Structure 1
């Protein structure tokens, strides 16, 4: 990786191309039959981190305490950094001349593949933290499995992201326990938050043709394998937090992975994509 002075040099593009060429060969990138599913799956990974990262960034300057404000901002930055890697690889697989920025800023809502859970409004801090915890528990298990991916590029990205997401899960779990087993008001807020977001969590494990194709290729795990691991973590943390797991259908809300979103995603994209759409091709 070039040093900071190197990155500012005119030949930075050449350095980047050379670094990419030195990466491990990935046979999946040349698999024409797999390309549509692989591209769609990579967009799902990137869109999840992008949309959640943007949502969490909305807390910047509005946190209830300075420490929490900074922690939320850092989590958002971690997720946006992961987006750059996932969508960057998606652009390579697509091989249509688009970049990670193009995929982030120039797609319409129906082309986004993120989970509905992640586009829900922040609500109060209880909703934000509960949404974060439930996704972190899934994200951690998914990235752990992806470190064994048959795709060297996917495994490399997963290994980098896992270091950050391990901390995300540790932090969100701790806060869910502290607030759930805290005051009467904090407990009530956390239980209400859990009840609210619970119907959206099942989509994480709802496999479709895309999930099946990348699992068959050895790129990603079977989502059904992750469900008991997620359930174990969630049950343990909720028990410590003295919170009751809802008996409602946890897979009532689905469709985000296929491009069927809530109205909230449109508002996110209107804010996130405004500059690029108003000034096409603009750069710093």
Structure 2
């Protein structure tokens, strides 16, 4: 799956960037959306579709892709030096989604995020020539946190699709059953669980936010948008008393913009 932050912030970031990075980011965005569609929405046998997509990704790295979106991507991976295994991990995440419906522990969930979310941030760093190991490590924290926040937002939708990303160990600890989400509002023990998840994700997000102050200008603008979106989402969930079931918890754009301005002024520190 593609994190909500990626799907919203790629087009937004593209408006304020020079044509080179903008073109590369939009090529990546097209690929991410294609992988997301193949693994989560497409009719028919999605595993076969993902296999075909990986085969054409290999063609893209040889300069001979068949799909139009991967023709654009072929230029980006060549000019930006994005390793093939980074983009394959997103396909692997969607393969996992075809079989794995539960995650027993937080460690298992983080392992999934290493496939489903972290490659997005690493790819962005490659676009700006900033994919040094210490910066990728900070980016991974941001992307994992964003993915967990999205799982908190979408807990009811995921349940209705037969999935539960929140760790089973935490569900048991707080005495939460998935069928309780169908009551129209989150019970108090569910709110306690989600408060715990959001707090943990927020700490992870803040620990990676120092990345913003270590990037050149245009990369800083792009990454600040992701972090700001995560912080605004955490605030929106808190404002809803950690109940994403009874109403929409999407943050207002003004809140995201305010968080972004604070990040740019502070260099990522809190």
Higher relative contact order (CA 8 A, sep 6+): 1
Structure number with larger C-alpha Rg: 1
The normalised TM-score by structure 1 is 0.30
Task: Give the TM-score taking structure 2 as reference length.
Answer: 0.31
